[in-house]
Structure 1
Amino acid sequence: MSVSQIRVFITFIVLAVAFRPIAFGQAIDCQRPPKLVDPAMCCRDGGRDQISENCARQIMGTGNGQANNAPPSFEAATCLAECILTTSKYKQEPKQLNLQVIRSDLSMKFSNDSAYVEAMTAAFTKCEPQSLRRLAAIQQFNGQQPKCSPFSAIVLGCTYMEYFKNCPAHRWTQNAECALAKTFVTQCGLGA
């Protein structure tokens, strides 16, 4: 399973756990999502990085020339997200992001793409408080203590959804499927 597929899966796990549609118009039926489209095909993200690859290998057992195309379990997805945010030092405390490190890291990696850096930084900033609220709601109804806190998965899912909704024009693919997907996630209140 590629890092892009893992990101998509984490996003959809978070949406399944914390889905709260809010309809703003009549054009989209929030109860009937359009055909599933890979968000990375519509809005190019930062691509693969070594941290994500190493975490996927560690948590998912991918690598060594073998591809694991099965979707990860909820536990594996939450542990993968936690590994990514912890290893990249994006998480300062168990439930707090280090937004300065995020901005600095993205600025260094994407020094020639300030629009991407701004969109991702804004997405992380917007998603941190929303993720804390969603985590509290999940913990209120689920008395079990998971192996890995879902906070990181909620943050990453929300962040990629916000980034998708606010994709820089030079990273966006213009086609009907992508436009419909963006309208759906925007009008139905998905993300932060």
Structure 2
Amino acid sequence: MWSSKNIVVFVLLGYGSIAYGQTIDCQKPPPLLDPALCCRDGGRDQIAEKCTEKVVGTANGQQNNGPPTLDTATCLADCILTTSQYKREPKSLNLEHIRNDLTAKFPNDTLYVEAMTAAFTKCEPEAQRRLAAVQQFNPKQPKCSPFSAIVLGCAYMEYFKNCPSHRWTQSPQCVMAKTFVTQCIVQNN
């Protein structure tokens, strides 16, 4: 069964693209690797696990080992942000609650809290712009709004690009992935 971390990576790939001083061919991304192997995130979260169980679940008692559909990933992201109360309205975040929640969960890691809070702050208007573009070209209303998936994908990309040094794993693969992301993945600011 896909874990919530794998689904968040899928969301990141579905609404973004993933993967110092190096030159990289943006037409040839480096081999895919789990971003958490390079930049440790907050770890397992009960809300994400409960949402995974609720949204992905199991079919007839069987585990689903295939990749999630875009609808599944989008609904999972929406469940995570809604249940954690990070989303204030359909298209806006509760940034004060995000900061307070992260501070309570990570009281001894202000660099992580600041990096994640900055990522969500940067990504809220970006997600609003991208959602408007998606809705303009595809007016069909999906099962769950892509806003949360866009926010999470963007936030994890921003966090990866600005990973605090104490959470970063220095390896050739990680350096190459970060170089690719910083040089080749364009975000509207």
- Given that residues 120 and 155 in structure 2 are in contact (C-alpha distance below 8 angstroms), is that contact kept between their aligned partners in structure 1? yes
**Aligned residue number for residue 4 of structure 2:** 3
Stretches of structure 2 lacking an aligned partner (at least 5 in a row): none
Equivalent residue for 1:124, pick from 114, 117, 120: 120
- Given that residues 22 and 179 in structure 2 are in contact (C-alpha distance below 8 angstroms), is that contact kept between their aligned partners in structure 1? no
Residues 1:175 and 2:176 aligned together? no
Report how many aligned residue pairs link the two structures: 185
The structural deviation recorded for 1:26 is 8.6
**Aligned residue number for residue 153 of structure 2:** 157
The structural deviation recorded for 1:191 is 5.0
3-state SS of 1:115 partner: helix
Alpha-carbon separation, structure 1, partners of 2:9 and 2:40: 12
Alpha-carbon separation, structure 1, partners of 2:123 and 2:11: 15
Report runs of 4+ in structure 1 exceeding 6 Å deviation. Answer: none
Q: Which amino acid aligns with 1:14?
A: Y
Residues 1:107 and 2:116 aligned together? no
Alpha-carbon separation, structure 1, partners of 2:137 and 2:156: 25
- Given that residues 8 and 73 in structure 2 are in contact (C-alpha distance below 8 angstroms), is that contact kept between their aligned partners in structure 1? no
Normalising by structure 1, we get a TM-score of 0.90
Equivalent residue for 1:95, pick from 91, 95, 113: 91
Normalising by structure 2, we get a TM-score of 0.92
3-state SS of 2:16 partner: helix
RMSD over aligned CA atoms reads: 2.1
**Aligned residue number for residue 13 of structure 1:** 14
Deviations 1:49-75 (A, max 9, x none): 11000000000005xx96533211000
Q: Which amino acid aligns with 1:173?
A: T
